[in-house]
Amino acid sequence: MLPRLYKQRSPSITAPYQFFFMGSYIVLLYYLLIYFQTILGASPIQSGVDNLPLMFALAGGGVVMKTGCAQQVMFVGSMLGTVTIGLIYTLDIGSSTGKWAGYQVFVGATPSFVMMHSLTVAQANVGPEDLSTVTANLLSFQTVGGAFSISSGQAAFINRLLATLPKTAPDVNPALVLATGASELHNVFPPDVLPGVLEAYMIGIKAAFSVVVAFAGTAFLLTFAIPMKKLPSHATGEAPIAMVKEAGTNGRATTNDGNAEAHAGHEESDCNADEAVEPGTGEGAAQKKKNKKRKPNKKQKAPAVQTNPPSMLMSQLFPNNT
């Protein structure tokens, strides 16, 4: 992003906000599936079905469209998102379906209120020439945030898993646990050591969930720095840029239509003048102009001159000799 845009508070704050909030959401999606496959023993397809309640979302964009208060909506949504992600952290071995399904509904209902409002705030406070730059910058922060959060969650998960395995399953090779896929734990390890492996896995997943809570909490704190004013489209005495452009276009169209009508009027008057017949001539002015502009045809031959035979010429010149 251009350095001059970083001097504005809206683009410079919404970018890190999108970094942390979207990062938390991506890690949550990733490790919830691992929780379903390892702790609950679900297949990859069944874990995707169990993850559907997280996709439940409310139309938070309609609130901003109606009120123009994007900062307040982002504040409330980030706060509720952090709390509901904290509920996901409480999931454990043997948690009931009502808990993991109900918590996902609460989590899924909050991101829609804040998911893309940072882009709305950033675009609403810059000129038309900077819209593409601000949009690309925000989306790049969002992508990089997902990469960083996944790396952080993976590091926390593996470190806690390796630190716990010697206590819960001392006879199990940690390298074998890491090499085994999440959906294959119940097939690879025998029933006598499987509970210890699952316990270590659960502690590692909770460490990843703690990273999610940290990222969401940081995004919530960043909402305090976002300007609290309404969007320009809802502020008193300010019109959206699109409306101004549309009004300008309509004004130009009206002017052009007026010019076209005037030009058509001039042409019509010229035609009427050409059709007027001059008194006493019976000839219109237009026909007179055409006659003046008409040039003689250079290729037209002169009329043939009648010639007489020589005998007739001599009789005419000397009549007395005949």
Q: Same domain, yes or no, for 252 and 165?
A: no
Q: Same domain, yes or no, for 223 and 235?
A: no
Q: Is residue 16 part of a domain?
A: yes
Q: Same domain, yes or no, for 105 and 216?
A: yes
Q: Same domain, yes or no, for 108 and 248?
A: no
Q: Same domain, yes or no, for 115 and 182?
A: yes
Element holding 269 (H helix, E strand): helix 241-275
Q: Which residue carries 């959206």 as its tokens?
A: 240
Q: Same domain, yes or no, for 193 and 237?
A: no
Single-letter amino acid, residue 53: P
Q: Under the phi-then-psi rule, with left for phi > 0, alpha for psi from -120 to 50, and beta for the rest, what region is 307?
A: beta
Dump the DSSP string for 255-266.
HHHHHHHHHHHH
Q: Same domain, yes or no, for 129 and 243?
A: no
Measured distance CA(103)–CA(285) in Å, rounded: 91
CATH number for position 35: 1.20.1250.20
Q: Under the phi-then-psi rule, with left for phi > 0, alpha for psi from -120 to 50, and beta for the rest, what region is 229?
A: beta
Measured distance CA(79)–CA(72) in Å, rounded: 11
Q: Same domain, yes or no, for 125 and 246?
A: no
pTM value surpassing 0.75: no
Q: Is residue 271 part of a domain?
A: no
Residues comprising the chain, all counted: 322
Q: Is residue 298 part of a domain?
A: no
Measured distance CA(278)–CA(109) in Å, rounded: 85
State the SS3 of 116-176.
CHHHHHHHHCCCHHHHHHHHHHHHHHHHHHHHHHHHHHHHHHHHHHHHHHHHHCCCCCHHH
Q: Same domain, yes or no, for 42 and 74?
A: yes
Q: Same domain, yes or no, for 187 and 253?
A: no
Which residues contact residue 154 at a Cβ distance below 8 angstroms, ignoring those fewer than 6 apart? 208
Q: Is residue 316 part of a domain?
A: no
Give, for all 322 residues of the chain, the pLDDT tens digit.
Answer: 567 777 777 778 888 898 998 899 899 989 999 999 999 888 888 888 888 877 765 555 666 666 667 778 888 888 988 998 899 999 999 888 889 988 888 888 777 677 777 777 888 777 788 888 888 888 888 899 989 999 999 999 999 999 999 999 998 888 999 888 888 888 889 988 999 999 999 999 999 999 999 999 999 999 888 877 776 665 554 444 443 344 444 444 444 444 444 444 444 444 444 444 444 444 444 454 445 545 445 445 545 545 555 555 555 555 555 4
Q: Same domain, yes or no, for 131 and 249?
A: no
SS3 284: strand
Domain extent at residue 252: 231-259
Q: Same domain, yes or no, for 241 and 134?
A: no
Residue 51 phi, psi (nearest 5): -85, -5
Measured distance CA(118)–CA(138) in Å, rounded: 8
Q: Which residue carries 């452009």 as its tokens?
A: 245
Total tally of structural domains belonging to the chain? 2
Q: Is residue 249 part of a domain?
A: yes
Dihedral sign from CA coordinates of 174, 176, 177, 178: positive
Q: Is residue 67 part of a domain?
A: yes
